[in-house]
Each structure stands twice: as C-alpha cells, then as structure tokens.
C-alpha cells in the first residue's frame, strides 16, 4: 500500500494537529452549519493524516513523501 501514499511525515503531523484544533474549535465555539463544516474539515484532515493518501495530491500528481 505504500506506493499509493503521497503524504509525507511532516505533512501528516501538520494535518493531524490542524484537524484536532479545528475539531476542538467546532466543538467549543461554533454552532449550526459552521460546526458541521468544521467537523467535516477536521475529519478529512485526520483521515488523510492517518491513511497518508490525499486525493487532491493524487489529481495534481503531487507527493510530499521522500
């Protein structure tokens, strides 16, 4: 599965941290549609950090892996 991964270690850590921060902001500060959007964005960031596969990177043939 490693040959399909296109997210590097630093990129993955940054995505994970941002995802958790956005999730916390959505939970504590936001409400309504903005809270839902924050949850969706956080889910996408955390999912791409864990799987190390970014579909947008794949479309543009970008890889942050060394």
Residue 50 resides in a domain:
yes
**pLDDT digits 0-9 by tens, 1-56:** 567 899 999 999 999 999 999 999 999 999 999 999 999 999 999 999 999 999 99
pLDDT at 1: 58
Residue 19 resides in a domain:
yes
Q: What is the distance between the alpha carbons of residues 62 and 50, in angstroms, rounded to a whole number?
A: 18
Given a contact cutoff of 8 angstroms between Cβ atoms, the answer to whether 18 and 45 are in contact is yes
Given a contact cutoff of 8 angstroms between Cβ atoms, the answer to whether 52 and 5 are in contact is yes
Its pTM stands at 0.89
Single out the residue of 36, 63, 52 nearest to residue 1, CA to CA: 52
Residue 66 resides in a domain:
no
Residue 65 resides in a domain:
no
Tokens at 15, concatenated: 């995505």
């Amino acid at each position: 599965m490693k040959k399909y991964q296109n997210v590097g270690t630093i990129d993955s850590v940054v995505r994970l941290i941002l995802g958790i921060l956005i999730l916390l902001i959505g939970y504590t500060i936001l409400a309504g549609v903005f809270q839902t959007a924050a949850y969706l964005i956080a889910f996408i960031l955390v999912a791409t950090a864990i799987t190390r596969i970014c579909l947008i990177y794949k479309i543009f043939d970008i890889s942050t892996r060394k």
